[in-house]
Amino acid sequence: MARYIVQRLLYAIPTLIMISLVSFAIIELPPGDYLSSYIAKLEQQGSRVSQSELEALQQRYGLNQPVYVRYWKWISNFVRGDMGMSFEWNRPVKDLVMERIGLTALISLLSTLFIWAVALPIGIYSATHQYSLSDYLFTFIGFLGVGIPDFLLALVILWWAWSTFGVNLGGLYGPEFIGEPWTWPKVMEVVKRIWVPMVIIGTAGTAGMIRTMRANLLDELPQPYVESARASGLSETETVLKYPVRIALSPFVSTVGWMLPGLISGTTIVAIVLSLPTTGPLLLKALLSQDMYLAASFIMLLSILTVIGTLVSDILLVLVDPRIRFDDVQAG
């Protein structure tokens, strides 16, 4: 077990290195370097940059040095928690990112829980009532859920709530709470509103998960052990819940891994439509204004979040599913 965990951790290292290379490429790719955009920005605002300041900045980002030196400077600072400055906000990137990454993680986590809470009972129901009217209905809803992109769903729901009830569902709290510290009323406000992104982001995942759960359970239901449980006098509910469902559950744990990149993707774009105070809108803003240190830090952190989530789900899977033996686990 320990060996497996260590192995998975080791496999994550090349992934993390590749992520850092891609993020660095995003900083480097736009024409012109960071400093010239920074200076242009400052001059636009009417302030001038002194020669000494310029040199200090050049020194800090290693702008006169070859690419690999710049990369090394950037990544070693990043690991130490110094992510550079956002010239758009004139604040350290770290502060901006940390303010928002927590809510992103929270919404992703809530969406996962929502997917589980909804997909599990519906999947079981669909499988035990195969080809019934409700099974067809859920299949149809499932297809729609997969087919409708979440940001369009967000857009339509936003418009619907606005035009029928005159309610703006965007944002996580009303304008009076912006910039306020996290007090009880603010937390309650967030709790009241967070279900909107949770449901929207969770829809596609729910649809897919219902299909998986249904298919897995359908594979298990005709097995002899189910028959023998039934024969020994267990009620139908007990028979289904106690044995086949437990085995069919393993996708719930294992799919967190592949669900997570999709969830983070969905969170990013849905957050932009709903203007949530998460990473999405800020990332878009940073990209549109070529504030590349901020953007790259976001992309890097979101990817790291995904890798960690996948890692946790892989390890959980081994813990939950007794059929997986450690000697069989090789190469992930």
Strand partners, 92: 85
Smallest distance, Å, CB 307 to another protein? 6
User: Of the two residues 54 and 284, which places its CB atom closer to another protein in the complex?
Assistant: 284
Smallest distance, Å, CB 41 to another protein? 16
User: Of the two residues 198 and 286, which places its CB atom closer to another protein in the complex?
Assistant: 286
Smallest distance, Å, CB 228 to another protein? 28
User: Of the two residues 226 and 282, which places its CB atom closer to another protein in the complex?
Assistant: 282
Smallest distance, Å, CB 177 to another protein? 19
Of 109, 2, 41, nearest to 293 by C-alpha is: 41
Binding site for another protein (CB under 8 A): 14-15, 18-19, 22-23, 25-26, 29-31, 143-144, 146-149, 151-152, 155-156, 158-159, 162-163, 168, 170, 258, 260-262, 264-266, 268-269, 272-273, 283-284, 287-288, 290, 292, 295-296, 298-299, 302-303, 306-307, 310, 331-332
User: Of the two residues 120 and 199, which places its CB atom closer to another protein in the complex?
Assistant: 199
The region, left, alpha or beta by phi > 0 then psi within -120 to 50, assigned to residue 324 is: beta
In sequence order, the 6+-apart residues with CB closer than 8 A to the CB of 248 are: 123, 127, 213, 216, 217, 219, 220
CA 195 to chain centre: 16
User: Of the two residues 208 and 244, which places its CB atom closer to another protein in the complex?
Assistant: 208
b or e along 228-251 (b: 16 or more beta carbons within 10 Å of the residue's beta carbon)?
ebeeeebeeeebbeebbbebbbeb
Of 119, 112, 143, nearest to 245 by C-alpha is: 119
CA-CA distance, 251 to 247, in Å (whole number)?
9
CA-CA distance, 294 to 84, in Å (whole number)?
8
User: Of the two residues 230 and 275, which places its CB atom closer to another protein in the complex?
Assistant: 275
Q: What's 299-332 look like in SS3? A: HHHHHHHHHHHHHHHHHHHHHHCCCCCCCCCCCC
Smallest distance, Å, CB 321 to another protein? 20
Smallest distance, Å, CB 108 to another protein? 10
Smallest distance, Å, CB 66 to another protein? 20
User: Of the two residues 234 and 284, which places its CB atom closer to another protein in the complex?
Assistant: 284
CA-CA distance, 305 to 302, in Å (whole number)?
5
The region, left, alpha or beta by phi > 0 then psi within -120 to 50, assigned to residue 143 is: alpha
DSSP E strands in 6-152: the ranges are 85-86, 91-92
Smallest distance, Å, CB 331 to another protein? 8
Element (H, E) at 32: none
User: Of the two residues 62 and 261, which places its CB atom closer to another protein in the complex?
Assistant: 261
